[in-house]
A and B are shown apart, each in its own frame.
Chain A
Amino acid sequence: MTAQRQAPLPDGWAYDASTVDAGVLNAELFSEIGKPLRRREDHRLVTGKGRFSDDFSIEGQLFAAMVRSPYAHARIGAIDKAEAEALPGVVAVLTGQDALDDGLTAINHSPVPSTRFDVRLTAPDGSPPFIGPHLLLPVDKARHVGEAVAIVVAESRAAALDAAEMVDVAWEELPHVIDSLDAIKEDAPTLWDEVPGNTFVDCEHGNPEATKAAFEEAATVVRAKLHINRVTAVTMEPRAALADYDAETGRSTLYAGSGGAVRQKRELSAVLGIPQDDLRVLSYDVGGNFGARNRVYVEFGLVLWASRRLQRPVKYTASRSEAFLTDYQGRDLHTEVALALDADGKFLAMTADNVSNVGARCVSLSPLSKGAGLITGSYHIPVAHLRTRAVFTNTMCTQAYRSSGRPEVTYAIERLVDLAAIETGIDPIELRRRNLLAPQDLPYRNAVGSLYDSGEYEANMDRAMALFEWDDVGRRRADAKARGKILGVGLANYVESSIGTPKERAEITVAPDGAVEVVIGTQPSGQGHETSFGQVVADMLQIPAADVTIVLGDTDRVSVGGGSHSGRSMRHAGTVMVMASADLLRVARDLAAERLDLAPDALDYADGTFTARGTNRSVTLADLSSEQNPLSVARTNEMHAPVFPNGTAICEVEIDPVTCQIAITRYASVDDVGRCINPLIVHGQSHGGIAQGVGQAMWEDCAIDPESGQPLAGSLMDYGLPRIDTMPFFDVEISEVLSPTNPLGIKAGGEGGTTPALATVTLAVLDALRPLGVTDIAMPITPQRIWQALDTAAATPKEKAPA
């Protein structure tokens, strides 16, 4: 495979107005799309009337607490429940064996990305990978600290917690392994007998021969070994679930915030072995997700199971400590990369060896797969050779975390480009210019097969530099120096892919009073779908946005829906809402024609009303609906083509060389999100995304003691989050280069803030410290790390300092 400029579009990739009957959209008719409308969800949230999972309570409910493994790896012997069961208020203590006896099965996470455009990942022998079954409670052994091995149910939360401490498990401690590079060594402890070497995915992509040849001819080669450290989402709302069981109907109801209620219903009903219709999942206000809530949690299955066994409602709310131990975590990629350049600084080839630490079992390969497709970043690199491996370790499972897989590879390529600039002596911006893809190169197939849709990469960079006042950096540097500080700047270009579950469905109903209701299967956790989706439907039907209500998160209302992840929501929901709106207008036109006794094409439509051309006879959408016969349509759409949001971000830091404190003094970015429906919301996404990326670069780390296997970051006192006094104001702008793949031209706007931020912060720090001899620094870049780096550099004789 070789990279290809102006690559032809595969079948079904470009949006074809004729196949979906929606026509070509006329942006001049948009009056709500593009407006920074204030959010409809705000009123309930600012008045304390939000409905988060733990806000629900049911008369007579019981409380659950988990018995968790204190060991990273241990065989589970006898479990003595007697003392716990004897405590007042304790109703039941249940173990993995009880679950097996009741016929419960493992959660089917389906971790292998499955759209036509995902990078294929297989076991070393080419077969589908073994993923490690995820039972609600294991029966053989615990494979990470914090893994639940029993559930205690009691009349009060306090009684449940007290009793959980009394459950006596006969543990047989086993040797453990924490880091994926240790786990692939010959003598590493094995987690699963089915996978003796712990490596359950091992594939190669790209063109090894051509890459090797290019490296042999190169004028310059730069290499780096990098670790993109493990972090966790820290949604401010800890996960919670309340299960209720109706013995009369045999139905269960689960109140549990997630990234998509439909998936929870499908996978949890399968675990319990009940028909899907016997489970209703409600997910109303969700206090942050960022990927962590997209997959099913064992506790959700456990409260459902317990409530069915005990015939009483059962509630579980994670403490923040439990969240740190057992929320699905993110990143944790080791990557070894190299870049070959010719004498003019043109990139010739790239290699990457990516090793993903999935934890104790595999719930998602999305990070490895997404990253694999984007190793060459925003640059034209003719050939590449990539090896991808996924490895089990005795740690909590990792999952897609905001911008799954892309910050990792963006960090790698941008660090390489920076190294290449130093090695060749070419200015880093100039080197980027020489290799960035030009608008006319797109559609572009990169060296590992990803097909970028559209974008103006160099324009992003120029615009971000102007926003950042790049020309003024020299003066600011001198100014900082006069104050005893060292200033550094770091710039990164990025491109990312948004794919996501391909199916989405919209049901649109017009009530006789003119109110429009849209049922859709995405699940916001702060992204404002109730507002922005309303803007789309309002413009499609030419009615005010205030007339549109969006219904989400109740599986009794929403039958199909992929949830919210991978920047899919506005693109998938927007597309299917456009189609359903077109359907609705077609149905309505026929009805109106009948009503007015005219041919359908004798009618004009505007502002919610059909008018007989040249007359004042008219009929509104509301007129066409009645209680018995509401005007209603449903449309399901499947869309596989990916889109490629892209942009540039620049960070400025000031470091105090005495205390090694580091402050972010400026941050600018330009994000090409395709069409922007609500800029107020999209800017908010950029801000939050930047903070999360900066957080990883500067403070966040799921530190684990390799000796004991114990997580060291168990509370907000030892896991560093971005705080209000450590964040700057941001200068963010939106670029709207439309995507050809969907009717609205949407890309995605939720993750672009995060994707380049790891690189921008690291490059800014290295820029500041390079004159002092520092050439490398690992994330998170804490004052201690800076102090160590300065110390090491000072102790290294100048002539021996690595280039």
Chain B
Amino acid sequence: MRQLAITVNGEVRTADVEDRTLLVEFLREGLGLTGTHVGCDTTQCGACTVIMDGQAVKSCTVLAVMAEGAEVRTIEGLADGDRLHPLQDAFSRHHALQCGFCTPGMIMASLDVIERHGADLDAQTVRHELEGNLCRCTGYHNIVKAVLDAAGRGSPR
């Protein structure tokens, strides 16, 4: 066990970790940030996606110690007070979530996609880029619409 400091949503946060502690465990169990979810044990589902030093990562596949000193952004750090981030708002408006379990990971991954593609984003690119995030409820239709909308690309249908 040792104490680890990681900047999470702009604040330096510390918690005790073992060498084998995963970043997602540090967030959920160490800091009580339960918005980041765990949906699998093989890096397939993307429910655990967070932004680490500007890149979307699956936090179930990053050791907490690897994130020492890094800047991590989670779903809890997205809204501005009561004002939703445009992506969060678009997900709600387009009904891009049902049970909501995949949603935090889906939104964090989409954030990264929009950042990298900006106005060039089209439906096919969204589908290609989000291939590592699974959703069992929505059939993805409304997720693609929401991401395009949040990227300022309007709605394809």
Binding site for B on A (CB under 8 A): 38-39, 41-43, 45-50, 52, 54-55, 57, 158, 233-238, 285-288, 290, 319-321, 525-528, 680-681, 683-684, 687-692, 715-717, 721-725, 727, 729-730, 753
- A54–B104 alpha-carbon span in the complex (Å): 15
CB–CB B139/A687 < 8 A: yes
CB–CB B40/A730 < 8 A: no
Query: Which B residues are in CB contact (< 8 Å) with A42?
Result: 91-92, 97, 100
CB–CB A525/B99 < 8 A: yes
Query: Which B residues are in CB contact (< 8 Å) with A684?
Result: 95, 98, 137-138, 142
CB–CB A724/B127 < 8 A: yes
Closest to B77 in A: A48
- A640–B141 alpha-carbon span in the complex (Å): 35
Closest to B98 in A: A526
Task: State the Cβ distance, B85 to closest chain A Cβ, in Å.
Answer: 8
Given contacts A46-B88, A730-B141, contact A723 B41 (CB under 8 A): no
Closest to A40 in B: B92
CB–CB B99/A48 < 8 A: no
Report whether over half of chain B's contact residues are helix, strand or loop; otherwise say mixed: loop
Which of the candidate stretches B42-50, B51-59, B63-71 sits at the interface with the other chain? B42-50
Q: B6: CB under 8 A from chain A?
A: no
Task: State the Cβ distance, A242 to closest chain B Cβ, in Å.
Answer: 13
CB–CB B42/A716 < 8 A: yes
Question: Can you sample 11 A-B contacts with CB below 8 Å?
Answer: A42-B91, A46-B84, A57-B32, A237-B37, A287-B101, A288-B101, A688-B139, A721-B134, A722-B139, A727-B139, A729-B144
Q: B2: CB under 8 A from chain A?
A: no
CB–CB A688/B127 < 8 A: no
Closest to B127 in A: A725
Query: Which A residues are in CB contact (< 8 Å) with B138?
Result: 684, 687-688, 691
Given contacts A237-B101, A285-B99, A288-B99, contact A319 B41 (CB under 8 A): yes
Q: Which residues of B in the span 81-131 have a Cβ within 8 Å of any Cβ on A?
A: 84, 88, 91-93, 95, 97-104, 107, 123, 126-128, 130-131
Given contacts A48-B34, A687-B139, A724-B127, contact A286 B39 (CB under 8 A): no
Task: State the Cβ distance, B89 to closest chain A Cβ, in Å.
Answer: 8
Query: Which A residues are in CB contact (< 8 Å) with B156?
Result: 729
- A233–B137 alpha-carbon span in the complex (Å): 11
CB–CB B78/A47 < 8 A: yes
A716 touches which of B20, B45, B98, B99 (Cβ 8 Å): B45
A526 touches which of B18, B99, B128 (Cβ 8 Å): B99
Task: State the Cβ distance, A779 to closest chain B Cβ, in Å.
Answer: 18
Task: State the Cβ distance, B65 to closest chain A Cβ, in Å.
Answer: 16
Query: Which A residues are in CB contact (< 8 Å) with B143?
Result: 724
Closest to B145 in A: A729
- Which of the listed residues B39, B47, B134, B156 has the most CB atoms from chain A within 10 Å of its own CB? B39
Q: B135: CB under 8 A from chain A?
A: yes
Query: Which A residues are in CB contact (< 8 Å) with B34?
Result: 48, 52, 54-55
- A716–B134 alpha-carbon span in the complex (Å): 10
Closest to A156 in B: B18
A721 touches which of B95, B107, B136 (Cβ 8 Å): B136
CB–CB A47/B84 < 8 A: yes
CB–CB B42/A717 < 8 A: yes
- A341–B74 alpha-carbon span in the complex (Å): 62
Query: Which A residues are in CB contact (< 8 Å) with B37?
Result: 52, 236-237, 287
Query: Which B residues are in CB contact (< 8 Å) with A680?
Result: 95
Given contacts A319-B41, A717-B42, A724-B127, contact A688 B98 (CB under 8 A): yes
Given contacts A236-B45, A320-B40, A687-B142, contact A39 B136 (CB under 8 A): no
Q: B12: CB under 8 A from chain A?
A: no
Binding site for A on B (CB under 8 A): 18, 20, 28-29, 32-42, 44-45, 47, 74-76, 78-79, 84, 88, 91-93, 95, 97-104, 107, 123, 126-128, 130-131, 133-144, 156-157
- A39–B95 alpha-carbon span in the complex (Å): 8
Query: Which B residues are in CB contact (< 8 Å) with A237?
Result: 37, 39, 99, 101
- A723–B46 alpha-carbon span in the complex (Å): 12
Query: Which A residues are in CB contact (< 8 Å) with B126?
Result: 724
CB–CB A288/B97 < 8 A: no
CB–CB B95/A47 < 8 A: no
Query: Which A residues are in CB contact (< 8 Å) with B78?
Result: 47
Query: Which A residues are in CB contact (< 8 Å) with B134?
Result: 236, 716, 721, 723
Query: Which A residues are in CB contact (< 8 Å) with B20?
Result: 158
B103 touches which of A46, A158, A319, A687 (Cβ 8 Å): A46
Query: Which A residues are in CB contact (< 8 Å) with B137?
Result: 236, 288, 526, 684, 688
CB–CB A528/B100 < 8 A: no
- Which of the listed residues A236, A527, A689, A723 has the most CB atoms from chain B within 10 Å of its own CB? A236
Given contacts A234-B136, A688-B137, A724-B127, contact A286 B84 (CB under 8 A): no
Given contacts A288-B136, A684-B138, A723-B134, contact A45 B103 (CB under 8 A): yes
CB–CB B136/A46 < 8 A: no
- The 9 A-B residue pairs with the shortest CB-CB distance, nearest first, are A48-B35, A526-B98, A45-B100, A287-B101, A526-B99, A691-B139, A687-B139, A716-B44, A48-B75
Task: State the Cβ distance, B80 to closest chain A Cβ, in Å.
Answer: 11
Task: State the Cβ distance, A723 to closest chain B Cβ, in Å.
Answer: 6
Task: State the Cβ distance, B153 to closest chain A Cβ, in Å.
Answer: 14
Query: Which A residues are in CB contact (< 8 Å) with B130?
Result: 724-725
Query: Which B residues are in CB contact (< 8 Å) with A233?
Result: 136
CB–CB A48/B127 < 8 A: no
- A716–B60 alpha-carbon span in the complex (Å): 15
- Which of the listed residues B29, B35, B79 has the most CB atoms from chain A within 10 Å of its own CB? B35
- Which of the listed residues B99, B140, B143 has the most CB atoms from chain A within 10 Å of its own CB? B99
Query: Which A residues are in CB contact (< 8 Å) with B75?
Result: 46-48
Given contacts A237-B101, A716-B42, contact A729 B128 (CB under 8 A): no
Closest to A235 in B: B136
- A43–B91 alpha-carbon span in the complex (Å): 10
- Which of the listed residues A42, A721, A723, A724 has the most CB atoms from chain B within 10 Å of its own CB? A724
- Which of the listed residues B75, B128, B136 has the most CB atoms from chain A within 10 Å of its own CB? B136
Task: State the Cβ distance, B31 to closest chain A Cβ, in Å.
Answer: 12
- A422–B156 alpha-carbon span in the complex (Å): 39
Task: State the Cβ distance, A150 to closest chain B Cβ, in Å.
Answer: 22
CB–CB B100/A526 < 8 A: yes
Given contacts A724-B140, A724-B143, contact A717 B44 (CB under 8 A): yes
Task: State the Cβ distance, B86 to closest chain A Cβ, in Å.
Answer: 11
Closest to A287 in B: B101
- A717–B41 alpha-carbon span in the complex (Å): 10
Query: Which B residues are in CB contact (< 8 Å) with A48?
Result: 33-36, 74-76, 104
